[in-house]
């Protein structure tokens, strides 16, 4: 399932909850106004305007609080769904090395690093990937130094000879990038919906 599909499903899941919160707030607001108006009929005319103003102000406050509560519920639900999706991805990737396509995945990570770094490269891998990485590097025909000095569920770190330029292409780092990107997409959707609501657009 793509990130867009996850966010779409989450949006549909949260919409009913948000609508229920808004409806409840509106009912409470109407009850407050109705009660205030009934009380206002029983007091002197001079106080009528003040009572209605206070009641309407209180109702507006309730609606505003409900709006904030609904918005926070949407944000929290979307972020929780995003985290759950990434946690499941981490669980599935825990045994990445047992997959038939892992050699090609590792090769792709290393090749991507080599394409960015110039000259001699230093490739850091997990001990489990040493022989596989050496075979790839020999085929690539580049000058390299291979170090099995990182602990990772997959991937590699490729740097130049002075370790000044470093391409971190481990599975964990890729997941962290995905997490940050997903959070950005969640907030972009929220802000877009807020703009639409403010302008009355559909």
Contact 124, 147 (CB under 8 A): yes
Contact 97, 154 (CB under 8 A): yes
Closest Cα to residue 153, out of 107, 98, 115? Answer: 98
pLDDT number for residue 149 = 95
Residue 183 lies in a domain: no
How crowded is residue 121: how many other Cβ atoms within 10 Å of its Cβ?
A: 23
Q: Find how far residue 17's CA is from the centre of its chain.
A: 20
% helix / strand / coil in the chain, to the nearest 5?
75, 10, 15
Taking the complete model, does pTM exceed 0.95, yes or no? no
pLDDT number for residue 169 = 92
Residue 190 lies in a domain: no
pLDDT number for residue 61 = 81
Can you give the CATH number for the domain in which 122 is found? Answer: 3.30.2320.30
Question: What domain count does the chain have?
Answer: 2
**Rounded Cα–Cα distance for residues 51 and 18 (Å):** 31
Q: Which domain covers residue 120, as residue numbers? A: 99-174
Among residues 93, 122, 143, the one where a domain terminates is 93
Residue 112 lies in a domain: yes
Q: Domain check: are 25 and 52 in the same one?
A: yes
How crowded is residue 65: how many other Cβ atoms within 10 Å of its Cβ?
A: 12
Strand, coil or helix: what is 111? helix
Instruction: Return the C-alpha torsion angle 55, 59, 60, 65, nearest 10.
Output: 140
Helix ranges (DSSP H) in 117-170: 130-140
pLDDT number for residue 94 = 72
The segments of the chain whose pLDDT lies below 50 read 1-4, 6-7
Q: Domain check: are 128 and 150 in the same one?
A: yes
Q: Domain check: are 17 and 35 in the same one?
A: yes
Q: Domain check: are 70 and 21 in the same one?
A: yes
Q: Domain check: are 65 and 127 in the same one?
A: no
Residue 202 lies in a domain: no
pLDDT number for residue 56 = 77
Q: Domain check: are 80 and 162 in the same one?
A: no
**Rounded Cα–Cα distance for residues 154 and 175 (Å):** 12
Q: Domain check: are 69 and 119 in the same one?
A: no
Among residues 30, 65, 93, the one where a domain terminates is 93
Residue 192 lies in a domain: no
Q: Domain check: are 120 and 145 in the same one?
A: yes
Q: Domain check: are 37 and 73 in the same one?
A: yes
Q: Domain check: are 82 and 134 in the same one?
A: no
Q: Domain check: are 16 and 81 in the same one?
A: yes
Among residues 93, 119, 151, the one where a domain terminates is 93
């Amino acid at each position: 399932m793509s990130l867009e599909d996850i966010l779409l499903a989450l949006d549909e899941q949260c919409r009913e909850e948000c609508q229920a919160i808004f409806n409840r707030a509106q009912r409470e607001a109407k009850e407050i106004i109705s009660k205030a108006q009934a009380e206002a009929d029983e007091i002197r005319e001079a106080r009528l305007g003040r009572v209605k103003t206070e009641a309407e102000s209180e109702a507006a406050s309730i609606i505003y609080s409900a709006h904030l509560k609904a918005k926070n519920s949407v944000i929290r639900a979307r972020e929780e769904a995003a985290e759950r999706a990434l946690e499941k991805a981490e669980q599935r990737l825990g045994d990445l090395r047992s997959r038939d396509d892992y050699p090609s995945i590792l090769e792709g990570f290393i090749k991507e690093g080599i394409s960015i770094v110039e000259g001699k490269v230093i490739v850091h891998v997990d001990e489990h990937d040493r022989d596989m990485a050496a075979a790839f590097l020999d085929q690539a025909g580049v000058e390299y130094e291979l170090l099995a000095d990182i602990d990772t569920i997959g991937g590699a770190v490729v740097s130049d000879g002075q370790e000044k330029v470093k391409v971190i292409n481990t599975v964990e780092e890729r997941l962290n990038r995905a997490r940050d990107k997903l959070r950005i997409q969640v907030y972009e959707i929220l802000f877009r919906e807020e703009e639409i609501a403010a302008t009355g657009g559909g």
